[in-house]
Amino acid sequence: MQTKLQNWLVCLLVITMFALVGCNSQPETSAAPTGSPTPSPSTPATSSPTATTLPRLEGKATVVMTVKGAPITMELDGTSAPITAGNFVDLVNRKVYDGLVFHRVVREPQPFVVQGGDPQSKNPNVPLDRLGTGGFIDPATQQPRDIPLEITPRDAKEPIYSRTFREAGVNVPPKLRHTRGAVAMARSQSPDSASSQFYVALADLQFLDGDYAVFGYVTQGMETVDKIQQGDRIESAKVTQGLENLKGGSASPAASPSASPSPSPTTSP
């Protein structure tokens, strides 16, 4: 029995690597473009070098994503994950996710995740096996937008940025855990490489806690998530509540008027 359990854990860890990081470990096939600065060992655990230039969600927001003609309601937590949730709300408001594909679905040997959000997938001519390498390109700057790893420990007032809990020496669970229905950001091996790709946990995946940033939960429509197949498209995504809590994004008065509603499909990370 112990041998079978060990084999299962090894298998699950391998699946995790492929499901959340990308097709392989080479930079050109990472889950999102890299580019965010890597912090030095002396960087404070709560300091984020890009935090002041990114959208933030100050409070809660609700996003309704339509897949297979059915709504999936997500409640996003900007209190515990302000940059991660703010980035997602901003991309939803820009219509970035409309028409994108769920390119990775893992249910065997156990339910794991459904993952989507690669802007390349809006182009039907991009092969499915190439997806998982793209991220959001800001149309105002033509530069990739990567966000830092942002996880708030339980009972802490501030998130830890750019480090996993293991790297930061944190031995408590995060406030937002990988329970079934958790919505979190996919990234490459670099902690600050999340961009637009996200995943929904199909089961409790608490071994991912402290390594990947959860920023909300599916509150209605999990039965639709359970039916998602590889290649299914997001028909639409809309912020239905809390858009006024987005600061510095496309809904902010300070947002650039030249920003287009959605990015062009990328051809390389």
The three-state (H, E, C) secondary structure of 98-113, written as one string: CCCEEEEEECCCCCCE
Is there a domain that residue 91 lies in? Answer: yes
- Give the residue from 262, 207, 266 showing the smallest Cα distance to 13: 207
Asked if residue 233 lies in contact with residue 99, where contact means CB atoms within 8 angstroms, the answer is yes
pLDDT of res. 251:
67
- In sequence order, the 6+-apart residues with CB closer than 8 A to the CB of 37 are 49, 50, 192
Q: What's this model's pTM, rounded to 2 decimal places?
A: 0.78
User: At 165, which CATH number?
Assistant: 2.40.100.10
The pLDDT value recorded for residue 249 is 74
Q: Which of 178, 243, 245, 235 is nearest to 212 (CA)?
A: 178
Q: What is the pLDDT of residues 134-155, one digit of tens each?
A: 999 999 889 999 999 999 999 9
Instruction: Decide if 267 is inside a domain.
Output: no
> Quick check: is 36 in a domain?
no
Q: How many domains does the chain have?
A: 1
Residue 107, domain member (yes or no): yes
Q: Which among 145, 125, 124 has a CA at the least distance from the CA of 134?
A: 145
9 falls within a domain? yes
Residue 265 lies in a domain: no
Q: Is residue 263 part of a domain?
A: no
And the tokens for 206?
Answer: 């608490």
Please list the ranges in the chain whose pLDDT falls under 50. 1-49, 253-269
Q: How many CB atoms lie within 10 A of CB 215?
A: 28
Does 118 map to a domain? yes
Cis peptide leading into 41, omega within 30 of 0?
no
Query: Cα separation of 186 and 213, whole Å?
Result: 8
pLDDT at position 128: 83
Domain that holds residue 97: 2-31+44-247
Q: Specify the pLDDT at position 127.
A: 86
